[in-house]
Amino acid sequence: MSRSAAPTLVGLLSGPDCPGIVAKISGWIYGRGGNIIHADQHRDHEEEVFFQRLEWSPPVGDSAAEGVAFAEFARSLGMRTVVGRSDERPRVGLMVSKFDHCFHDLILRWKAGELRGDVACVVSNHENLRAEAEHYGLPYEHIPVDGDSASTAEESQLEVFHRHGVSLVVMARYMRILSAGFLEKLGCPVINIHHSFLPAFAGGRPHHQAHARGVKLIGATAHYATEILDDGPIIHQDVTRVTHRHGVADLVRKGRDLEKLVLSQAVAWHLENRILVYGRKTVVFD
């Protein structure tokens, strides 16, 4: 493989800010024969935390080993570091209930080559979307969930995701709360889409809440899921205007368009290694 066709490395770094850190990192890459293609950084002045995303062409040779060496070097500077490769295609698991708009949108974007990853399986607590999933050639696992069987259902869900080797789970309007135990055992991030502009109108029936309040903007929020409902670090949000002439059905219709766009953008950013989480916040690099 020629140098121009070789995969690039992408590093995400965060840690205490200190003078000269950018020079040290870029110097390390240059000193080993690498070439930086893109670099972006951010400093949280209140927390004095430094964040950086780097993409570079490593020297000819074992790029995986070069990524390991870079992570070790960055950690020596006190940086929390994740290194990926541009040719990696993470496997994604989808969780759905009955709503299908985010489900179809994500799969069609994947089929069109817009996502740097592959949908591996679909898990649902209902049978509604089985035919659609199988039409796309995706394995569909129906795992019913109720109050008495929730823990057993989560164990079955974990088995499916681990069997398919997923490194990202997307709740494409999966209408259940995931437990702390499930999230810990899963061992990979989970992205959720909520149909409101968080932190406003968390929980169920946000469009009804928004209509009752008479808001002039409604929104959608993609965030990393935690055991606390609609409280995880926010990745992406967007809004659209509404007026007193719009009823609840209008808000739902307009909101679904937002949900598709916001969720797909958040998933794309994650798969491209553009998101750093710290505390209850995220840094999303261009």
Alpha-carbon span 26 to 106, nearest angstrom: 36
Alpha-carbon span 91 to 133, nearest angstrom: 16
What is the arrangement of strands in the sheet containing 80-85, beginning at the earlier edge strand? 35-44, 49-57, 9-16, 80-85
* Coil, helix or strand at residue 6: coil
Count of CB atoms within 10 A of residue 261's CB?
16
Is residue 109 within 8 A of residue 137, CB to CB? The reply is: no
Alpha-carbon span 162 to 11, nearest angstrom: 26
Cα–Cα nearest to 138, from 108, 177, 98 = 108
Is residue 264 within 8 A of residue 106, CB to CB? The reply is: yes
Is 230 known to be catalytic? yes
Candidates 100, 146, 230, 257; catalytic one: 230
**Residues catalogued as catalytic:** 230
